[in-house]
Structure 1
Amino acid sequence: MTELAERLRWLRGGAAPVRYTARTIAALTANPGCARRGLLDAAGVDKSALAARLGHPARFGQSRFAITRTLGFENRLKADGYAELLAAVGLAGAEVVTVELTLDIAGLPAALEPDLVILRAGGRLHVVQIKSFAVIDGQAPGDKVAAAARQAAVHVLALRRLGHDTDHEVSLVCPENFSNAPVAHRVDVRRELGVLERQLARLVGVADIAAGLPDGATADDAVATVPARYAPECLAACELAFYCRQEARCAGETDTLGRAVRDALGGIASVGEVTAIAGGAPSTEHPEIAELLVAARELRAGAPVGQPEGDR
């Protein structure tokens, strides 16, 4: 066992690693600057259990009813040799194939949990995602389709990096209207592929992060010493988000204001520093932003009390 593998084993307490899924990789690459999540995901740490132990349990995920509905829909599509799924997708001569998927994540090969269906048709592979959200009158929730497209792109990229000719259009198979009958929609994921590749390239190397930990460091040690990069969007994607939010709030970090505000502040990390600069404190490092903050404060101070926000 290599030194890195031993460090990662200690982080998860000797438990079996939680495998990467397309969902976790999509969430990780949406915030590539978060070294904390990158390390814990690479180690296969159960972040839900860790968050609960830290007193900030995750508050997202499917209800039991939704999970039961999802499993029932998936089982229906997989019955009789995937007969209903193949009929819904409508690819002539398609057959289901099994491919062991791996993808390099921050310098380490990661095996992907098989949570999709791969078809071979016309000499090419085609990714199919089974989703339980309904398509009503031909329309599906835009946010859910976007999330599914990002996850499907992970599989397409993994297949291509393994040398497989893979279609850039994927099929999302969902229940139609209020029935359990499947309907398929083709989605082009070329834009998502481009974003994914750029974000994977930005991930900090796991070996570099782990090297900064003492021997025998646990997941709790990693949370205490490895920096996170919290953003409000994390609340819908990371099990540790509520812990990291509390941490960022206590530290007065501008991360709590959202990525757009943080980026507009040009690297000013502290809310206290922002208010001080807006109040006239000199800033040789951020002169242009200081000018804008002072102007914003003066405009705010000059706005009539009680005037509707839209009229200011």
Structure 2
Amino acid sequence: MPLPLDPVVEKIIPLLPLRDPTVMTPQSARDSLRALADARAAVPPPPVEHVSDIEVQGGAGKRPARLYRNGSGRAPTVIFFHGGGWVAGDLETHDRQARNLVIETGAVVISVDYRRPPETRFPGAFEDAFAAVRDVVARIGEFGGDLSRVGVAGDSAGGNLAATTALACRDAGIKLAGQLLVYPVTDVVGNFADPTENARFPSRAENAEGYFLTRATMEWFCGHYLAEMADGADWRVSPLRAKSLAGVAPAVVTTAWFDPLRDEGHAYARALKAAGVPVRYHEGEGLIHGYFGLGDASETARTEAQRARADFKALLVKGVA
């Protein structure tokens, strides 16, 4: 039997934003996520020696990014993409996640501020993510300095961008040491509104509401990111629909048990394994979508996130053969 909902997380759920898409606008979604981050301002962030705002190449020009590192020697390099349903989230809302990646993996981390919908719809965010990886790889001497130890990471919509970028890197001949996919979106065919498509993933019904991220909110996010519903079949937004996953970078995939995205994340982990890709999978028992941001409050969330980051560190340390 899976673990019940973590009681600490259960108390936090009513305080979390983005739960009612009937009254949500892109700006209110952004404001509420930023306000959640700002509410923790009195809690010192995880300490990292060097943090600086930089620019990386995007799909249509330079994009803001933030560089995090400890020390100055050779190290793995991780390009990180924040979550927020593609619409919300930014460098500030995911600052602590980026810092924890540095501390627990020893990597230089570059957090990328990709273009967001509805101002820039699909494939804008994907194009920015892939362009950023190519730029960092081309300038690796300015970052970790080791082309054999480059990885991508992201949570939720950022996990989607990390997964699709890893596929694009495979096709472009860019060798990644690993990908960390944290409760990723992997299949948006039907925009979370089609009963037949939803039935493929029982968690979309089991966890449709009541656990922070709702299925209705996912439908809202997809409606803003995709200009045409048919775009959902494109592997650049639905990596589970890619013709082949063979040869993509080794992966660490996490899901949360009480998350509508649970089953598609698990399906992606299984599909990667079936394609011969080394995978470590964490199912996140007792946890909800977004638990990587709840580690200060929930020991269960902190421990599960640390396990995933430890697995990712092992991939980065090993590097590309």
In our comparison, the structure showing a higher alpha carbon Rg is: 1
TM-score (norm 1): 0.28
Would you tell me which structure has more helix in proportion to its own residues?
1
Q: Give me the TM-score of the superposition, normalised by structure 2.
A: 0.28
